[in-house]
Amino acid sequence: MKNLWSDIESKQFKDDLDLRVYSSRLLGQNSSLVLHGGGNTSVKITETNLVGEEEEILYVKGSGWDLISIERAGFSPVRMAHMIKLAELESLSDPQMVNELKTQLTDSSAPAPSVETILHAILPFKYVDHTHADAVVTISNTSNGEDRIREIYGDRVVVVPYVMPGFDLAKDVGKLFSEQANDKTEGMVLLNHGIFSFGATAQEAYDRMIDLVGLAEQYLINQNAWDVGKSSANITPDSIRNEVARLRQNISAVIGSPVLLNLTNSERGIDFANQGNVAKIATRGPVTPDHVIRTKRIPMIGRDVDVYTKEYKSYFDTHEPNANERKTILDPAPRVVLDKEFGLCAVGKNMNEVGIIADLYEHTIECILRAEKLGGWQALPASDIFDLEYWDLEQAKLQKGGNAPEFQGEVVLITGAASGIGKACVESFLARGAAVVGIDLDASIKQTSVHNNYLGLVCDVTDEDGLRDTLEIGVRHFGGIDMVVLNAGIFPSGKAVAELSTDEWRKVFSINLDANLTLLRETHPLLKLAPNKGRVVIIGSKNVPAPGPGAAAYSASKAALNQLMRVLAMEWGSDGIRINTLHPNAVFDTGIWTDEVLASRAKHYGLSVEEYKTNNVLGIEVNSKDVAELAAEMCGSLFAKTTASQVPVDGGNDRVI
């Protein structure tokens, strides 16, 4: 356990709260201590209030903040005096406690104080650090974990049996602390939960945390339980996209809405999924109940969702919720899947959630394997986990959730996504909550968006093998394909048929028609497995209903693509897949409209470039965003009963009208 404290850096901070921020961030940098919002820190500071009175204020990490990036604003200032009075009560419900904490904030704009606020208040130390250190919870999650903890630390720590976070934990800690603490006390271990360290200064509390966790790590090393090694796990087969999409469809059906399914490609995950006893050791519970809500309790072994849900429900046989609770609250769908071929898979409504779940379970795997070498992995009883899942505060969060984005948990594939209409489509679908696979021949496709829900892949759409490989990557990353926007195409410079070479004709057709045929054929099995049914939007052209001279190859290829759309609408209707075409015209912020092409077409019609841009019935300019927004809308509920439609986006073209 490396100590990251720097005397040079720490001297830059002038007050106690700044040092609290600094040491909290040091803790947050170590994922074996805290991960994705886990852990908690606080500092007690005497301040003068508005009426000139001195009062002690507890600055405790606020809800929604992560230690790795926390700032001064991330600490909630609450009045210590009232916290001490609350701690003396015989009982206090969690909703009442949360209300009391809010009423004692000295800054109404501060985040909600941690549910461990009273616990931090009663500990008689200026600085308090709390982490879910992997090494500590690994040791405590064994059959004789408490004995091992006491063996490691002696009287340096107070040992507290697991109690759910909140008022009851604060009461238990207050009692046990008064019984066990002495002048050598440096910290506290909450069995199956984590470790606290205390100090008069930020550095002292931090140093003690590193030292105490280091002792746990050294214990694991000494017991030959640190290095868990690797097995010769099988590599995932070349083509599994349809199987992945089917698994995602089944999980989404259990949840009742689409979700993303990510094959993490974790070597540790593949190895763990291929352990002979994985079904036993992976289903004994989480490392700490702090992970319960985000990863669920029982990882799914293999791909049989029906078997999994039965096992999940039987997990609570002795703590069965009533029928109404089961209907409205209990969610038996997995958030973690362990499969011999797929490895470690994470399930979530977006890639941020997926990433958190994957990271948490990576650490869980390591803890389980070390605990097994230490004598056997043993998590908390199901009753404690059940209680946390149905905790008043967690249920309040669920009920407060709000409306989900329209395409949350769904995946769209967009071709020609590096610029113009394609790039605008990326932005429109991301804004509606979709995960986006953007493909383009241009290498800039990788940087088209920095959104966590975006995956940019370089692909030549005329390369059939390349398209298949791209689909494989996209499905393994997001779990399937729900929507397709066919936008990639070329618009060659104007040329009469008499001057048009066969090679040029074929090149246009290979990109505008043949490549789209291949992509539609390859995505059809995936679209059939889309939880909300598949949708396709083809970016056509005004030249389909109203071709112009000098654009034979382009007009004919787009017309053929449109005819293909009409055929597929009939063939795929029985699969619930709808397919529609948008016919834009004169969208000049796209890649095909170079200055040369624009000038040539304007000259052909005897117009200036500006006149040509607004040469429509409404006299307006149509841009890429206009087309993209309608493309996204066509995949939404408004067009749920529409297929084989052709909708112009052209400001009104008199030749079409």
Catalytic residues: 554
CB 224 within 8 A of CB 216: no
**DSSP string computed for 453-504:** TEEEEE--TT-HHHHHHHHHHHHHHHS---EEEE-----PPPB-GGG--HHH
Strands 260-263 and 343-348: antiparallel
Q: How far is CA 516 from CA 183, 381, 629, in A?
A: 75, 54, 21
Separation of alpha carbons 471 and 478, rounded Å: 10
CB 536 within 8 A of CB 578: yes
Torsion of Cα atoms, 423 then 424 then 428 then 434, to 10°: -10
Specify burial of residue 227 (Cβ count, 10 A radius: 0-12, 13-18, 19+): exposed
Six-digit token string for 345: 């898979």
Cα angle 405, 408, 414 (rounded to 5 degrees) comes to: 110
Question: Tokens 């941020």 correspond to what residue?
Answer: 352
Separation of alpha carbons 141 and 220, rounded Å: 13
* Amino acid symbol at 361: Y
Separation of alpha carbons 489 and 492, rounded Å: 10
How long is the chain? 657
CB 634 within 8 A of CB 569: no
Q: Does residue 486 come out as left (phi exceeding 0), alpha (psi in the -120 to 50 range) or beta?
A: beta
CB 177 within 8 A of CB 158: yes
